A and B are shown apart, each in its own frame.
Chain A
Amino acid sequence: MTDNRFFNRSELIGILVLAVFLVVVLPLTLDVFRLNLVAKYLTYAFVALGLVICWGYGGILSLGQGVFFGLGGYCMAMFLKLEASSVENTKIQSTPGIPDFMDWNQITSLPLLWQPFHSLTFTILAIILVPGIFALIIGTAMFKRRVGGTYFAIITQAVAAILTILIVGQQGYTGGINGMTDLRTLKGWDIRPDHAKIVLYFFEVGLLLACIMIAQFVRHSKLGRILVAMREKEDRVRFSGYSVANFKIFAFCIAAVFAAIGGAMFALNVGFMSPSFVGIVPSIEMVIYTAVGGRLSILGAVYGTLLVNFAKTSLSESFPELWLFGLGGLFITVVLAFPNGLAGIWGDYVQPRIDRLISSRKPKPEGWTDNSVADGAPAE
């Protein structure tokens, strides 16, 4: 990749294929219920995309992406919940006009934290800024002190645990273990009927493609190359005069913001938000999507997410006992045998054949998946 363009030819084709697949093929072939399922899966693809930048390129494994997914989702859900709990809708409560779970928990006025979420503008800003600033704080505290690798993974995991316990414990303010359910309208527009689901699906695909563009931009810019250099030999980058910590913080923040967008879309598409998408288990599952898709492949993250979730849904519907064996086995196989996931298989076996088929005269494009990535994580 000697030039500064954001795509080479094969990547452009890849993005177009994905766009056609998501925008044309899936909506034409699936019914609304399945399409909504795909929309739910795609919200995780945002997280996986962030992890490609943060983990694949930056070498920072965060096991707390569920935190950011949850923060984004809860911001959106708070707005929707407030709109669903208008005074007319909640006449039967002892305090009309506040969300139902607050009423059940004997809270009589809207908490201060909830007040600004009456405004959609504030909510959209909060979806981006709250997780972004939170990631900035964690990132600054950790990376400026050169904490990384396994330590960082464990601490982010602890953060995920803390947030889950907090949400479950503070039932009156967060809806507790059930989360925020019964979300109805967005600025008066009902999000529950089928046509709304379809509109939301296309909106989400648009956002996802935009995020893919941003990720492409990051990867091909100087920034992306410094990230890779940092992952491989952190000290050399530091001695060359770059502030390693700042680049890591940036990668972590962008992953957090992507995850938050995914979370917000989740609340819109699925119509509820609960702590079961915040904790350690979902956070690790999100890492697995990235690992299956290929931690270095932006598009692989999307396909990996779709594939794992389809497998999860269909397997757990028909063989609930086997599903965990399958999932566990999948992790182990991917980690042991295919550290670059689907994208690695594609780049190693399929792509060369296609290239040979298309033209045997042109020189083979330099495949970035061929880089040594087996030891992608920096040694601490």
Chain B
Amino acid sequence: MFGDYSLGDLGSIFVMQGFAGLILFSVYVLMALGLAIIFGQMGVINMAHGEFMILGAYVTWMTSNFFQTYLPSLFSGYFFLAMILAFVASGALGMLVEWVLIRHLYKRPLDTLLATWGLSLMLQQAYRSVFGAREVGVELPQWMLGSLHVSDSIEVPINGVFVMCLTVLITVCVAYVMYKSRWGRQVRAVVQNRIMAGAVGINTEKVDRYTFGLGCGIAGVAGSAFTMIGSTGPTSGQLYIVDTFLVVVFGGAASLLGTIASAFSISQTQSTLEFFMSGSMAKVLTLLAVVGILMLRPQGLFALKVRK
């Protein structure tokens, strides 16, 4: 299959596909970060994670419309406000859901799956009723359009670069919050031993609520970034949810580094394969490889050594 291309062409193909893979990687990482916190740390299977992401996307869309209509002079900077709003909206909804639904189910992890699946159906229908069934796209500000010329055969879209920078920034923030801040220590303490954490004076219920809220909020930011590279519909979140779970499981559920590494390998494999065969076969092969590796190494790439 390499026969028809010269060496230089192949190099460009790999760079371009690698870049496409990097954008996919950014989306995976952003979605998986929230899920790694919720699933990896709390053990809750949040099937509605994609819907939280879509909420962020819709918030971004509404903000962009608002700026376009009322504040066209500030339009070039609307995205930063939209991101914050998306985080707040998804995070708030997440905390509400935790309070109404999830906190009753911590002892039954498999049941969280069913309940959040029900939630995701309701949210999808809510989006459809409010925003309509058609996909909506966000108008990008002028400076995000166009692409950078690296060489004759390699072009890099600016919005892709922006999304990637954003991903790096958010990942660093999350890593700092989880591993350096006092609050992150509390979260990890609650995860490792809920009873003891409560005994030393940590308000475990509050920690749970904020952790879930943070995970959902990051999903909202992911949705916000997602609008930069694709359009949003009521069921867009569903498309990514299984992939995201696989990313988290493949990386080793409790490891942030593992999540990033697995998002990178999965997205790169998929986008490289996509050039040489149909998109569906590329996806099948990637997923098969992931499932195969998980069967050989169920704990994932980077497993924490814990005694059970």
Interface residue ranges, A against B (CB under 8 Å):
61, 63, 141-142, 145-147, 149-151, 153-155, 157-159, 161-162, 165-166, 168-169, 280, 284, 287-288, 291, 321, 324-325, 327-332, 334-336, 339, 374-377, 379-380
A162 CA to B280 CA, complexed, in Å? 9
Chain B residues near A158 (CB, 8 Å)? 242, 245-246, 287, 290-291
- Flag if B107 contacts A375 (CB, 8 Å): yes
- Min Cβ gap B259→A in Å is 14
Q: Would you call B115 an interface residue if the criterion is a C-beta within 8 Å of the partner chain's C-beta atoms?
A: yes
Chain A residues near B290 (CB, 8 Å)? 158
- Flag if A61 contacts B110 (CB, 8 Å): yes
From A145, A149, A280, A331, contact of B114 by CB (8 A) = A331
- Flag if B242 contacts A330 (CB, 8 Å): no
- Flag if A142 contacts B295 (CB, 8 Å): yes
* Beta-carbon nearest neighbor of B294 in chain A: A155
- Min Cβ gap B106→A in Å is 10
From A150, A165, A284, A339, contact of B109 by CB (8 A) = A150
With A168-B280, A291-B114, A328-B121 already in contact, the answer to whether A162 and B295 are too (CB < 8 A) is no
Chain A residues near B43 (CB, 8 Å)? 150, 380
Chain A residues near B113 (CB, 8 Å)? 61, 63, 150, 153
- Min Cβ gap B62→A in Å is 22
- Flag if B114 contacts A287 (CB, 8 Å): yes
* 29 A-B residue pairings within 8 Å (CB atoms): A141-B295, A145-B298, A150-B113, A154-B45, A154-B245, A155-B291, A155-B294, A157-B245, A158-B290, A162-B291, A166-B280, A169-B278, A169-B280, A284-B117, A291-B114, A321-B128, A321-B129, A325-B121, A328-B117, A328-B119, A329-B118, A329-B122, A331-B117, A332-B118, A335-B105, A374-B108, A377-B108, A377-B110, A380-B109
With A150-B110, A376-B108 already in contact, the answer to whether A159 and B125 are too (CB < 8 A) is no
From A166, A324, A375, A379, contact of B284 by CB (8 A) = A166
A161 CA to B246 CA, complexed, in Å? 11
- Flag if A339 contacts B284 (CB, 8 Å): no
- Flag if B105 contacts A151 (CB, 8 Å): no
- Flag if B118 contacts A331 (CB, 8 Å): yes
A98 CA to B33 CA, complexed, in Å? 49
Residue with the greatest number of chain A CB neighbours at <10 A, chosen from B121, B122, B124, B287? B121
Interface residue ranges, B against A (CB under 8 Å):
39, 43, 45, 47, 101, 104-105, 107-111, 113-115, 117-122, 124-126, 128-129, 242, 245-246, 249, 278, 280-281, 283-284, 287-288, 290-291, 294-295, 298
Chain A residues near B294 (CB, 8 Å)? 155
- Flag if A145 contacts B109 (CB, 8 Å): no
- Flag if B117 contacts A161 (CB, 8 Å): no
A72 CA to B115 CA, complexed, in Å? 29
Chain B residues near A334 (CB, 8 Å)? 114
A150 CA to B104 CA, complexed, in Å? 18
A155 CA to B124 CA, complexed, in Å? 24
A377 CA to B120 CA, complexed, in Å? 22
Chain A residues near B249 (CB, 8 Å)? 151, 154-155
- Flag if B109 contacts A377 (CB, 8 Å): yes
From A147, A162, A327, contact of B118 by CB (8 A) = A327
Chain A residues near B125 (CB, 8 Å)? 321, 324-325, 328
- Min Cβ gap A272→B in Å is 21
With A321-B125, A328-B125 already in contact, the answer to whether A165 and B114 are too (CB < 8 A) is no
Q: Which 3 A-B pairs have the closest CB atoms?
A: A331-B118, A169-B280, A328-B122
Chain A residues near B295 (CB, 8 Å)? 141-142, 145, 155
Chain B residues near A153 (CB, 8 Å)? 45, 110, 113
With A336-B115, A339-B111 already in contact, the answer to whether A324 and B283 are too (CB < 8 A) is no
With A151-B249, A375-B107 already in contact, the answer to whether A165 and B283 are too (CB < 8 A) is yes
Chain A residues near B117 (CB, 8 Å)? 284, 288, 328, 331
A113 CA to B24 CA, complexed, in Å? 35
- Flag if A328 contacts B118 (CB, 8 Å): yes
Residue with the greatest number of chain B CB neighbours at <10 A, chosen from A147, A150, A165? A150
Chain A residues near B101 (CB, 8 Å)? 332, 336
Chain A residues near B287 (CB, 8 Å)? 158, 161-162, 165
A153 CA to B47 CA, complexed, in Å? 12
A280 CA to B120 CA, complexed, in Å? 13
A328 CA to B114 CA, complexed, in Å? 9
A374 CA to B122 CA, complexed, in Å? 25
A371 CA to B47 CA, complexed, in Å? 29
Residue with the greatest number of chain B CB neighbours at <10 A, chosen from A287, A324, A328? A328
- Min Cβ gap A39→B in Å is 26
